[in-house]
Amino acid sequence: MGPVVVIDTSVFVSALIGAAGVNRQVLRACLEQRCEPLMGEKLLRELEAVLGRPAGFRACPLTAGERERLLDAFLSVCTWVPIYYLWRPNLPDEGDNHVVELAVAGGAVAIVTQNVPDFRRGELRFPQLSVLTAAEFLAQLR
């Protein structure tokens, strides 16, 4: 198994609605178990909530059922991590703090996100944790 990572919702959703590219390659790397994605309760609820908004997926070539099956396949390769301690890194978007908490609790080496600037602006830093774009992550994975 490859590096332990947290795949942010922005990457997962972009893999579904964007043109084939780096976000899909990250998702594929997870499904091929070339990395070990972490999953926690808040991230799962966020993914389910976003996938439940049909208006956001008009450009997606997958049906709602296919998106659900893809999420199930992704979850099957994720390691479930319970969160017992809230670090509160005070990111610009309070709703993103749970992603850092999941990464720290699960010993991730990276958060893969399209929102790199906000994740790097947290007040609490974790030197062992990188914040990477999908392209940066793939370059390190090869």
**CATH code of the domain containing 90:** 3.40.50.1010
Count of the separate structural domains present in the chain = 1
Q: What is the pLDDT of residues 83-130, one digit of tens each?
A: 987 777 777 778 888 999 999 999 999 999 999 988 887 777 788 999
Higher pLDDT, 84 or 6: 6
Instruction: Answer whether residue 31 shows pLDDT above 90.
Output: yes
Instruction: Determine contact, residues 2/34, Cβ cutoff 8 Å.
Output: yes
Residue 100 lies in domain: 4-141
- C-alpha span between 87 and 105 (Å, rounded): 10
pLDDT in tens, 46-81: 999 999 998 889 888 889 999 999 999 999 999 999
